[in-house]
Amino acid sequence: MIFEGYNDMYDMSARLCILRLLAEQPDYRMTDSMLDDLLVTRWAINRGRAYVRTQLAWLENSAGAVRNIEGAAGFVSQLTQAGADHVLRRHTLPGIKRPGPGH
């Protein structure tokens, strides 16, 4: 039985994981396919690429934490300053889990 609010908490955690993965990249960019693979292997978030794209769209449209670009090479997301500030705990963005100390 899933408790009330589970999906919201899961999504908030997944969004933080996405921002952390983007922050680790030298150019702050990754494809949705790469994000999907790393979410599964590092955090056991195994919901598929459609779920990742839904979260990326939310991160862009609701939080301004990423910028999504769909082009010939595929779907690429780039961390924005607001997203980086959230990961670094400079300020928090509603709807994204707050990073813990040392993360």
**pTM (2 d.p.):** 0.92
Q: Which residues contact 23 (CB under 8 A, 6 or more apart)?
A: 79, 83, 84, 87, 88
What's the half-sphere exposure (Cβ side, CA atoms, 13 Å) at 81?
Answer: 0
Query: Which residue segments constitute the domains of the chain, with CATH numbers given?
Result: 7-87 (1.10.10.10)
One digit per residue, pLDDT tens: the chain, 103 residues? 456 778 999 999 999 999 999 999 999 999 999 999 999 999 999 999 999 999 999 999 999 999 999 877 679 999 999 999 999 999 999 999 999 886 5
Provide the H-helix boundaries in 1-103.
Answer: 6-24, 32-43, 49-61, 81-87
Cα-to-chain-centroid distance, residue 22: 8
